[in-house]
Amino acid sequence: MFKRLASAVCAVLLTAVPAHANEGNVRKAFEARFPTMKVESITRMPFPGLYEIVFDGQVVYTDEKLTYLMSGNLFDLRSTQERNLTRERRDQIASGALVNAQANAIKRVKGNGKRVVYTFEDPNCGYCKELQKELNKMTDITVYTFLLPILSPDSAEKSKAVWCAKDRGRAWDDLMNKAALPANAVRTCATPLEDNQRLAQRFGVRGTPAVFLANGQQVGGYLPADKLEQALAALR
């Protein structure tokens, strides 16, 4: 039923949109209709007449004249194993955004550090502490942790104390493993907490922990080490 419906949608797109469509026309139409939204990219899809618009990390689809605007998953059924093109694109966008934001995260390297994981965590998050125990079991991994103080009134102060510490990685480990803040903690340095909040909102992160892989895929919240190992192995 799903494949028949998808095929019917593609057939409509094939006949309903002018052949001379281009990304410039789509951008002009979108920006005229939604002037407050920042367009990040316009891409012609592999289906005639269909265009992808990325704005604020969101992915939608339309025709050249912006007659229709579609939100949801777009599947490619041309191969034996259907592909979720929308999910792939969202992961790609997330991957680039995470790389660009690495300077705003606490970086910890174990072993050769070749495998990369990104986490969003609150210092008062119980499951974040459990996640830390699982990460301690792993090696050959680099973990970028974005501090996201959203759970308790003092989450922001604890986050500032960790970020302003001379050794942020050690300060975070001590807090999550021993519930100990750095001695004579300083909380007046510039922090990326607001930027982290915006990044989390961009990805739809509303709770902690949230775990992302290097390809931008979100693999859940708390994960035991063996499950995270499986997710990392699947990237190879």
CATH of the domain at 120: 3.40.30.10
For the stretch 174-218, pLDDT in tens is 999 998 887 777 778 999 999 999 999 999 899 999 999 999 999
Reply yes or no on whether the pLDDT at 21 is more than 70: no
Within a domain: residue 49? yes
For the stretch 120-154, pLDDT in tens is 999 999 999 999 999 999 999 999 999 999 999 99
Give pLDDT, residue 188.
Answer: 82
For the stretch 24-41, pLDDT in tens is 889 988 988 899 988 999
Residue type, 38: K
CATH of the domain at 42: 3.10.450.70
Residues 108 and 191 in one domain: yes
Provide the strand spans (E) within the chain.
39-44, 51-55, 58-62, 69-70, 75-76, 83-84, 106-110, 115-121, 141-147, 210-213, 218-220
Residues 154 and 209 in one domain: yes
Residues 54 and 154 in one domain: no
- Type and span of the H or E element at 142: strand 141-147
Reply yes or no on whether the pLDDT at 4 is more than 60: no
Residues 38 and 74 in one domain: yes
Full-model pTM: 0.81
- CA-to-CA distance for 169 and 184, rounded, in angstroms? 17
Q: How many domains does the chain have?
A: 2
Residues 194 and 106 in one domain: yes
Reply yes or no on whether the pLDDT at 18 is more than 80: no
In this structure, the number of other CB atoms found within 10 A of the CB of residue 95 comes to 18
Contact residues for 226 (Cβ-Cβ < 8 A; gap 6+):
none
Q: How confident is the model at residue 98 (pLDDT cuts 50, 70, 90)?
A: very high
Q: Burial, 88: exposed, middle or buried (Cβ in 10 Å; 0-12, 13-18, 19+)?
A: middle
